[in-house]
Structure 1
């Protein structure tokens, strides 16, 4: 009987010891915190336990491939993409046929010219546009001096239209290039030569019609544009 009582007491003590051990090393202590699995944690604070060197204590549940804490040096800090903005210079050039703006050998705007120029007024009003250059071009008929003067008068006429419609005068420039950039001359002269026996007046009219693309006004817009690029940043900083 005495032996049975001693055996029972020993069994009770063993069970109590086991329960105490399980309580001492509960799942929180052995598996670590829910958001930091694989590390032991201090019971009172639930903070990761560390040694005298500040290193974390891992458990057998630690799996670096799927878990770990950044502050313990086991997990990689999150790498995210964040926008970075830079400014770049921009340049756009538009060509307007002179025929829709002026009569032949004229520098006064046609009545319908405003509807063709209105979109360029709106574009020039953009705060990102820093400079507008109006460039006049002529065909190859006539002297260099005459065509230089005519192309500049036309460029200044368009410039005045932009300024009169609200574009700052300091923003708009005019330039006349005359016939220096005429491109149709040789091709059109060959076509006129194929007309055969026709009057000089008809040949002249045919040439004027053929080289019409050389009579133009170009408007160049220069400015700055903000560009966004994505960069990979560790830790989202």
Structure 2
């Protein structure tokens, strides 16, 4: 089963105040955090410097959690979300096998190992998902999502990550909210197509990760009335979707 998705930091006080949590958690091995790393870990840390966990042992995630962020601190991410991180992050390579003893008769060749399930990663190019200042999916955006959903039947789905983006026109706070709404619109559409809601993780990056680079500079004033600039920044108004699972 997929581990519990992101929990808001405001749950820290609730966890600390729940008597049942302490008694149940005592049977679960603590995940201690180096004090120097506290500010760089996407999990809730309690007053003891230990990752806060539910009564069933699930780690509480912060609103900044992503698989990549968790993989950047493997000593914690692997303890909490090993199933969602790349295998080479959490598993040490197996030791080399000892040489086989010599035999009078040559040993029969070992059968070829079965191929390991390969991670099926799909990144949706979504440069035409949204109109300027809108969080409503365009028809061509829906078509691209439908194409991605059609591939789900060939994998064992673990999680879908939808990250919303906005162009640079407007205030930072407004664009952050707009990017979150765009990601939420994609999640709603995916759920409407039969994807379990608890398997879709969303976040917004605001205007911080443009893909247009310097191509839209020197096009006049930074304002919504500048149609040439608005058209040039279209690729930045997007939601990137990553589907993570294993090939069947």
TM-score by length of 1: 0.53
> Deviation per CA, 1:173-228, whole angstroms, max 9, x where unpaired?
211111000143543123x25xxxxx9989821111122221211101112347xx
**What pairs with 1:20-99 in structure 2 (closer than 5 Å)?**
74-97=104-127, 99=128
CA spacing shift, 1:80–1:125, aligned 2, 3 Å:
closer
**Larger Cα-atom Rg:** 1
Structure with the larger helix share: 1
Q: Give the structure 1 partner of residue 198 of structure 2.
A: 170
- Matched-pair contact (CA < 8 Å) for 1:188–1:211: yes
The SS at the match of 1:161 is: helix
**Aligned equivalent of 1:68:** none
Aligned length: 146
Q: Which of these residues, 184, 188, 195, is aligned with residue 160 of structure 1? A: 188
CA distance in 2, matches of 1:172, 1:224: 16
- Give how far 1:83 is off: 2.5
Query: Which secondary structure state, in structure 2, belongs to the residue aligned with residue 120 of structure 1?
Result: helix
**Is residue 235 of structure 2 the alignment partner of residue 207 of structure 1?**
no
Q: CA 1:90/1:111 → structure 2, altered by over 3 Å: closer, same or farther?
A: closer
Distance between the aligned counterparts of 1:200 and 1:154, measured in 2? Answer: 22
- Aligned residues of 2:124 and 2:148 also touching (Cα < 8 A): no
Structure 2: stretches of 5+ with no match in the other structure = 1-102
2:161 maps to which of 133, 137, 143: 133
1: CA distance, partners of 2:120 / 2:137: 29
Which structure ranks higher in relative contact order (CA pairs < 8 Å, sequence separation ≥ 6)?
Answer: 1
Return the offset for 1:109: 2.3
Q: Secondary structure of the equivalent of 2:167?
A: coil
Cα distance change on mapping 1:206 and 1:175 into 2, 3 Å: same
Q: Give how far 1:79 is off.
A: 2.1
**Which ranges of structure 1 fall in alignment gaps of 5 or more residues?**
1-72, 194-198, 227-237
The 3-state SS of whatever aligns with 1:174 is strand
Aligned partner of residue 207 in structure 2, secondary structure? coil
Within 1, Cα distance between the matches of 2:224 and 2:199? 44
User: Secondary structure of the residue that 1:84 maps to in structure 2?
Assistant: coil
Deviations 1:22-73 (A, max 9, x none): xxxxxxxxxxxxxxxxxxxxxxxxxxxxxxxxxxxxxxxxxxxxxxxxxxx6
Q: Judging changes above 3 Å, is the alpha-carbon distance between structure 1 residues 172 and 203 closer, same or farther for their aligned structure 2 residues?
A: closer
1:135/1:81 Cα in 2 relative to 1: closer, same or farther (>3 Å)?
same
The answer (yes or no) to whether the contact 1:135–1:219 under 8 Å persists in 2 is yes
2:173 equivalent among 145, 149, 156:
145
Give the TM-score taking structure 2 as reference length.
0.51
Contact 2:132 2:230 in 1 (8 A): no
**Greater fraction of residues in strand:** 1
